[in-house]
Amino acid sequence: MAPVFAHGQLRLYLLSLLEGGPKHGYELITALSDRFGGTYRPSPGTVYPRLARLEEEGLVQRVDEERKSTYALTEAGYAELDARRAELSHLEEGIAESVRERAAQVREDVRGSMRGLRADLAAAAQQARASAVPHTTEAPADPRLASHVRYMDAEAMIQRFRDEVRADLRRADAGGQVQQLTLDTLRTVLDSALIAVRGTLR
């Protein structure tokens, strides 16, 4: 996949993001990720050195607040941005095209991953059915009671899965890290699991 920004473009785009007001470095990273619909998220090692360079050039001012630093445009920064409006407009058009290309690639990657995942789940379900051994010595003699015991075990497994996934999703959401790929994967896994489980109930 082609690089997102050509030489000097990320520098200009950071200036444009600061035009709306001071931001922390993390806020700038999140704003970039949002602009690309989650298909691109720059690392701190990409963003912070450029912010430091912009500060050296007098285009942004850093204000340290406890453990965080806020970056804001200086007068020189606003002047730089105004002088490069045409270039920024062209950059926005390029970003829109890049987002479309990256979204198409992500969809194709997801489709390929989902096909493989469905096959793996189907194979695992088949293997489980093939290797299943009736636990006649451990299960209650009454078939209905044995069924209910297995039903309660299944309920416990479902609840444990739900609790663990929700906890992971909450942690990810707190950091703005829940991606579309996560949602697509969860949907496919649950749909495939439902089909496989129903196949054992017929």
Residue 130, pLDDT > 70, answer no
- Please list the residues that pair with 63 across neighbouring strands: 70
Q: Are 14 and 50 in contact (CB under 8 A)?
A: yes
Which residues, other chains included, contact 103 with Cβ-Cβ below 8 Å and sequence gap of 6+?
37, 39
33, with CB counted inside 10 A (0-12, 13-18, 19+), is middle
CA distance 34 to 101: 16
Question: Is-above-0.75 flag for pTM?
Answer: no
For 28-53, the pLDDT digits (tens) are 999 888 877 777 788 889 899 999 99
CA distance 96 to 98: 5
Name which residue leads in pLDDT, 61 or 6. Answer: 61
Q: Are 176 and 33 in contact (CB under 8 A)?
A: yes
Q: What percent of the chain has pLDDT over 90?
A: 19
Task: Work out the pLDDT band at 1, boundaries 50, 70, 90.
Answer: very low
- What's the chain's average pLDDT? 79
Which position has the token pair 């999703």? 169
Name which residue leads in pLDDT, 77 or 144. Answer: 77
